[in-house]
Amino acid sequence: MLNERMVALGTQRSVIRELFEFGKMRAAEIGPENVFDFSIGNPSVPAPAEVNQTAMKLIQEMDPVLLHGYTSAQGDAGVRKMIADSINSRFGTSTRPEDLYVTVGAAAALCCCLNGLCNPGDEVIVFAPYFPEYKVFIEGAGATMTLIPADIEAFQIDFEKFEASINANTKAVIVNSPNNPCGAVYSEDTVKKLSSILEEKSAQFGHPIYLISDEPYREIVFDNTVVPYLPKYYKNTMVCYSWSKSLSLPGERLGYIVVPEEMEDHDLVYAAVAGAGRSLGYVNAPGLFQRVCAMCADLTADISVYETNRDILLKGLRDLGFHVVEPGGTFYMFPRTLDPDDVAFCEKAKEFNLLIVPGVGFGCPGHARISYCVQTEMIERSLDAFEKLAKCYR
């Protein structure tokens, strides 16, 4: 008998993947220029030239046995030193190489943190709208997900509902700012309030409630928005970072976890993360790209196009009567759907070859996600299709 949960996970395609496949089929039928595929969050700009140059230099100049050999399970020591230096120079922290665990992307980072922390019966709080894989990762760690409904006016946190949901079983809270799918960035006020509630509730229940900060979009922000670095506000924060979006390297699978020195029982928590990495087989992230990412850690791809795309789309949609909370970052927008049934709305959108993702899968019905990591001219051409869609509801 197979593991039924795994069979189900491996069989069901996500709504996003379904749409992506539908888009490819439509493109073959009517031409790719007539399909407006806003389904998937794949960066649309290339990695900076330094990434390839660094990779080539390493291949040409480094001892190949060392370059392609195993590194430490938690990542090469020199790599962790370079990452720590980069974090410290940007955030004024004192991260040490022994606080870092290098992973295959943020997905593995999240799984290592959750598996390291959770026991059966534990609860992990998530705020809607949320990245749907969180549920899979949390349940994979033997815990259950508690979803806090969205604050749909500003996409910050509904603190009343949050406080009411914390109990003795609450082990951790996951936050994702800048947020997939809505683009919101938590303000410093939000972060301070979140931290003070976590301090208070940890004291009340007599154990730390960990904050897991999922930050693959940390650098993709607009209008000089500042993303607060959460360990500076709450010491029991684990940072999960990824170079998938900032360096446009999703296929290379590189990221890291920070377990800050200030964390209560730091060495035990770090050991739990490393133990989870070991038990999941997430040891020794790819060696060449560990080095490339660490050497390029202070760079980003040319992400300015995402702000251009946001501006065009935001204005276009608002002119058509859509209610949209302005995204402070990422390459996603999350307008309210003109039909309260977001699934029906997104089906209707397909009639105009507009591929957008229903909000219900992100825990926030009545909305749809638009991934605008696409060519700017495609966004300009798509406005006509959005207008035809909007007309159906007038």
41 binds ligand PLP (CB under 6 A): yes
From 38, 127, 131, 345, residue interacting with ligand PLP (rule: CB under 6 A): 131
Residue nearest ligand PLP, Cβ-based: 105
Judged by CB, which is closer to ligand PLP: 362, or 386? 362
Residues 34-72 as b or e (16 or more Cβ within 10 Å = b): ebbbbbebebbeebbeebeebbeebeeeeeeeeeeeebe
| Integer Cα distance of 36 and 18 in angstroms | 15
Judged by CB, which is closer to ligand PLP: 214, or 219? 214
CB 147 within 8 A of CB 166: no
Q: In whole angstroms, how close is the CB of 213 to ligand PLP at the nearest point? A: 11
Q: In whole angstroms, how close is the CB of 28 to ligand PLP at the nearest point? A: 26
99 binds ligand PLP (CB under 6 A): no
Q: In whole angstroms, how close is the CB of 127 to ligand PLP at the nearest point? A: 12
| Integer Cα distance of 198 and 234 in angstroms | 8
Judged by CB, which is closer to ligand PLP: 151, or 214? 214
Q: Identify the CA nearest to 220 among candidates 319, 110, 92, 331.
A: 331
Task: Give how far Cα 303 sits from Cα of 245, 316, 374, Å.
Answer: 9, 21, 12
Judged by CB, which is closer to ligand PLP: 131, or 222? 131
Tokens of 193: 């309030």
What single letter denotes the amino acid at residue 303? I
Judged by CB, which is closer to ligand PLP: 106, or 141? 106
Helix (H) / strand (E) element for 263: namely none
Q: In whole angstroms, how close is the CB of 76 to ligand PLP at the nearest point? A: 19
From 54, 177, 195, 244, residue interacting with ligand PLP (rule: CB under 6 A): 244
Q: Give the full edge-to-edge strand order of the sheet including 100-103.
A: 100-103, 255-258, 237-242, 210-214, 170-175, 123-127, 144-148
Judged by CB, which is closer to ligand PLP: 213, or 236? 213
Q: What count of residues does the chain have? A: 394
242 binds ligand PLP (CB under 6 A): yes
Q: Contacts with ligand PLP in 202-231 (CB under 6 A)?
A: 214, 216
The distance in angstroms from the start CA to the end CA of the chain is: 53
Q: Contacts with ligand PLP in 346-385 (CB under 6 A)?
A: none
107 binds ligand PLP (CB under 6 A): yes
44 binds ligand PLP (CB under 6 A): no
Using the contact rule CB under 6 A, the part of the chain among 14-22, 100-108, 308-316, 341-349 near ligand PLP is 100-108
Residues 6+ apart with CB under 8 A from 171: 117, 118, 119, 122, 123, 124, 143, 209, 210
Judged by CB, which is closer to ligand PLP: 176, or 202? 176
Judged by CB, which is closer to ligand PLP: 37, or 214? 214
Task: Give how far Cα 54 sits from Cα of 45, 61, 241, 291, 353, Å.
Answer: 18, 10, 21, 9, 40
290 binds ligand PLP (CB under 6 A): no
Residues 6+ apart with CB under 8 A from 168: 205
Q: Determine the size of the site formed for ligand PLP (CB under 6 A).
A: 13
From 250, 316, 376, 378, residue interacting with ligand PLP (rule: CB under 6 A): 250
Task: Give how far Cα 221 sits from Cα of 41, 114, 217, 256, 370, Å.
Answer: 16, 27, 8, 20, 17
Residues 6+ apart with CB under 8 A from 365: 340, 341, 342, 358, 359
Using the contact rule CB under 6 A, the part of the chain among 93-101, 104-112, 182-190, 316-324 near ligand PLP is 104-112
From 105, 129, 260, 358, residue interacting with ligand PLP (rule: CB under 6 A): 105
386 binds ligand PLP (CB under 6 A): no
From 255, 327, 358, 363, residue interacting with ligand PLP (rule: CB under 6 A): 255
Which residues are near ligand PLP by CB under 6 A? 41, 105-107, 131, 176, 180, 214, 216, 242, 244, 250, 255
